Amino acid sequence: MKKGIYLAVLFLNGISLIAQTNNEQTFKEIYKAALTNAKCYTWLDYLSNDIGPRLSGSANAEKAVQYTKSQLETLGLDKVYLQEVMVPKWVRGEKETAYILNYKTKMNVPICALGGSVATPKNGLTAEVIEVHTIAELESLGSKIKGKIVFFNRPMDPENIETFKSYGGCVDQRYAGAMEASKYGAVGTIVRSMNLRLDDFPHTGTQSYGDIPKSDYIPTAAISTNGAELLSKTLKENPKLQFYFKQSCKQMEDVLSYNVIGEIKGSEHPEKIMIVGGHLDSWDLADGSHDDGAGVVQSMEVLKILKNIGYKPKNTIRVVLFMNEENGGRGGAKYEELAKTNHENHIFALESDSGGFSPRGFSFETDDANFNKIVSWKYLFEPYLIHSFVKGHGGSDIAPLTSKTLVKAGLKPDSQRYFDYHHASNDTFDAINKRELELGAATMASLMYLMDQNGIEKSN
Amino acid sequence: MKKGIYLAVLFLNGISLIAQTNNEQTFKEIYKAALTNAKCYTWLDYLSNDIGPRLSGSANAEKAVQYTKSQLETLGLDKVYLQEVMVPKWVRGEKETAYILNYKTKMNVPICALGGSVATPKNGLTAEVIEVHTIAELESLGSKIKGKIVFFNRPMDPENIETFKSYGGCVDQRYAGAMEASKYGAVGTIVRSMNLRLDDFPHTGTQSYGDIPKSDYIPTAAISTNGAELLSKTLKENPKLQFYFKQSCKQMEDVLSYNVIGEIKGSEHPEKIMIVGGHLDSWDLADGSHDDGAGVVQSMEVLKILKNIGYKPKNTIRVVLFMNEENGGRGGAKYEELAKTNHENHIFALESDSGGFSPRGFSFETDDANFNKIVSWKYLFEPYLIHSFVKGHGGSDIAPLTSKTLVKAGLKPDSQRYFDYHHASNDTFDAINKRELELGAATMASLMYLMDQNGIEKSN
């Protein structure tokens, strides 16, 4: 090797070694800051226990906007602001009641209206029940559906290791069940809760009537998994049993709300924007500590950590707390609309919306060039027990973003317990472990740091 | 390449491909059996909720012996038997009480006697308090200790990613604090609970007076982390404050108890023994669902799974439910003693005693040849989100085993929440997630299968 080349190689190896050492050192500082000096757990305590459930359009959602804005203002960011967005407002009304009427025996079962559902008649609704496991099965039954309550009872598949896969394989019953059943003349639908375990919590979640006429809207509710088992068993004994349920939920006028945004201006490429976020709204049955209080406070913590370790990003880093992920996605859509209007150039978007459990990795929406580059960083994460780098969905709030060179990512926490709490009244602060929450924030901050340092490969 | 060699290579590659496919298929069957057809959660429900705390020598420990034996007898094993072992019996007596006396204000704090501690005088013990953070600091204080209660208050280090490392860095205060403090004339010791979070649960655990004369034994107790913070803060304001505590615990005569053993005889090498186990005893403050009910039922499940998928092991596979891990380790010692007496040849020992949380990997006590062989199997585990294969401690119960060619391993579950519950009154069944428990059992069964198929490298 010629001496010049030899020296150049030595020099470049030197640079790469320094970069590697710097990365390792920065990771250490990030995890230390998260585990010894974080505020995310305290923030979540306030969001959960002092504010509470934060359904879009509610007074609590507005309180959460003001609280997170005020907390972001304490972090010494370059800018903190709100982004107006009109959101749907749906209210549950009185607590729902339901029972199985088996001959003369009434058996109460726990239900809750699905988000966006209409109410039953004032005195409730009673009808015979027909159990199905798929929408295809419903269609095959055709006219037998008429006048009945359709009971969707396909359980989440326990065989998948990733529980989100099982959710994805089931949620059509909840989302589209009422719309489809209505087409065949059903008077209501009851859906088994999206929950892998057997318990007494009904799990709400959004549903859609699609394009069917308003006059065809039928009330729809989730039943707890134990309730579903009981109903199914009793139906086998007595196919003529009747089911009663009563709910008084209501869709109101849209309400003005906000995305909450804070940013650190980039020192080299202020025009390039990297965002990290979660959603500020939650369902109304609990305080939504996992879904998505955790993602909100972790995203805030990412900026706090980067400030704390004195990191000056090359690109602009924004935390975005989206409004209305649960029943409309208006915050994410509005954010993208304004990004386009303002000709903003987003290069990276990271969302945390899978619970505050021990972080395991990330899923990426990107091309092979970027994915391979990211995977080459795995060794930096492994000492922190982060191993799983896969291609997959980033997150609902960042889904509308369409910048050309954008890489999207979602934090992947351990998913085993997520559906024990998801959209149910037990998604509360006591189900959060402080260290798991903090480790998630550190893992997110580490990826933001690497993406900021190493940029994005131009896509083809 | 000569044709003969070429064909031989093709043939061997073919064998290796078949083996690989078989392994993948067997893993699938194992995980499926665990996630759809396991009994471990039901067994643990019974152990925890129907039997309860199982401290060595207690009536409940005896019930647990009978229950697990009877359950093993339903699995169609070749042999189920008990192994007699004399165990220490320590009883807590009345619930402990303690308060800080700050001038005239009494502040109650939650404490619990450490296992093996002596009682206080009948009406309790009152003395001034001296706070230390290490045993070295205690020694440096020398005569200032005399007549005082020594308060060990070094917290678990939050910076470690693996919480067991933080436990290891702290537990000397609990284990040896009283013995050391007694040498300097202390009248009692209080130790900060081994818990990473701030809460109101005191965590017990074993302690030892070592070789000091019985007349020098001083009472020792754990205080909750919130209690420790309060005591430390109040001490700063008033170094002359007094601390009162009262406990009536007592060491009794040794009691006859048992290890519970079940086995499937090996089809090729019945003389080679592989064991999987956990410990049947627990502390007395709770039902010990994580420590180590989880390990017990997971170990039983390993044999159930192997039977269910119709696997015929080459080597003899034993489940061993050890008695008295917590305060004596007599079960493990007896097992090894009898293994020696009977000239048994143990080739593999796997323990689960780190809680029933999501499995992340294993730690191995073995030489490089075996470790490298095991690490080459990692790819089989990764689809099940098992990534962490490290050298390290196998487990307390299998520690006494000394067969020459023995490989030891410990299941490594996610450790973030373990010390929230460890040895405290909240280590109860509701802190167990069914899927996490089952995934741990499947991961253990998969390793047992691979070890059985591929054997152990001869050590040098």
Give the separation between CA B36 and CA A298, rounded to whole angstroms.
Answer: 34
Chain A nearest CA to B417, separation (Å): 7
- Supply the pLDDT for residue A367: 93
Chain B nearest CA to A160, separation (Å): 9
A196 contacts in B (CB within 8 Å)? 435
Q: Do B385 and A420 touch (CB under 8 A)?
A: no
- Supply the pLDDT for residue A460: 42
Give the separation between CA B266 and CA B312, rounded to whole angstroms.
Answer: 7
Token couple for B139: 């020694």
B454 CB-side CA count, 13 A? 22
In 3D, which of B118, B65, B85, B16 has the Cα closest to residue B257?
B85
Q: Do B32 and A197 touch (CB under 8 A)?
A: no
Neighbours of A125 (CB within 10 A): 18
Residues 397 to 416 of A: which have CB under 8 A from any B CB? 414, 416
Q: Which of A35, A163, A420 sits opposite B159 (nearest CB)?
A: A35
Q: Do A36 and B158 touch (CB under 8 A)?
A: yes
pLDDT digit string, tens, across residues B295-322: 999 999 999 999 999 999 999 999 999 9
A197 near B CB under 8 A: yes
B3 falls in which pLDDT band (50, 70, 90)? low
Average pLDDT over residues A285-305: 98
Residues 4 to 63 of B: which have CB under 8 A from any A CB? 31-32, 35-36
Domains in chain A, ordered, with CATH?
A: 29-88+253-454 (3.40.630.10), 96-250 (3.50.30.30)
Provide the 3-class DSSP secondary structure of residue B460: coil
- Supply the pLDDT for residue B460: 41
Q: Side by side, which strands form the sheet with A125-132? A: A105-108, A97-102, A242-246, A125-132, A149-152, A188-192, A220-223, A111-113
Token couple for B231: 């005591």
Average pLDDT over residues B90-110: 98
* A7 has pLDDT over 90: no
Average pLDDT over residues A105-125: 98
* B119 has pLDDT over 90: yes
- Supply the pLDDT for residue A347: 96
Q: Which of B162, B196, B435 sits opposite A196 (nearest CB)?
A: B435
Q: Which of A35, A161, A434 sits opposite B385 (nearest CB)?
A: A161
**Nearest Cα residue in chain A from B38:** A158
* A447 has pLDDT over 60: yes
* A381 has pLDDT over 60: yes
Residues 226 to 265 of A: which have CB under 8 A from any B CB? none
Q: What is the ipTM of this complex?
A: 0.94
Give the separation between CA B66 and CA B68, rounded to whole angstroms.
Answer: 6
Token couple for B279: 């410990």
pLDDT digit string, tens, across residues B383-411: 999 999 999 999 999 999 987 779 999 99
Max Cα-Cα span within chain B: 96
Active site residue B325: yes
In 3D, which of B348, B364, B349, B347 has the Cα closest to residue B412?
B364
- Supply the pLDDT for residue B310: 97
Arithmetic mean of pLDDT over chain B: 95
Average pLDDT over residues B267-296: 98
A413 CB-side CA count, 13 A? 31
The DSSP element (H or E) to which B11 belongs, if any, is helix B3-37
| pTM attached to this predicted model | 0.95
Interface test with A, best of B434, B437, B438 (most A CBs within 10 A): B434
Asked if the peptide bond before residue A200 counts as cis, ω within 30 degrees of 0, the response is no
In 3D, which of A283, A350, A364 has the Cα closest to residue A90?
A283
* A1 has pLDDT over 60: no
In 3D, which of A197, A109, A107, A245 has the Cα closest to residue A426?
A197
**Nearest Cα residue in chain A from B359:** A414
pLDDT digit string, tens, across residues B202-215: 999 999 999 999 99
pLDDT digit string, tens, across residues A38-67: 999 999 999 999 999 999 999 999 999 999
pLDDT digit string, tens, across residues A203-262: 999 999 999 999 999 999 999 999 999 999 999 999 999 999 999 999 999 999 999 999
A446 falls in which pLDDT band (50, 70, 90)? very high
Cβ-Cβ contacts under 8 Å for B168 (sequence gap 6 or more): none
DSSP B216: G
DSSP B431: G
pLDDT digit string, tens, across residues B4-15: 666 566 566 666
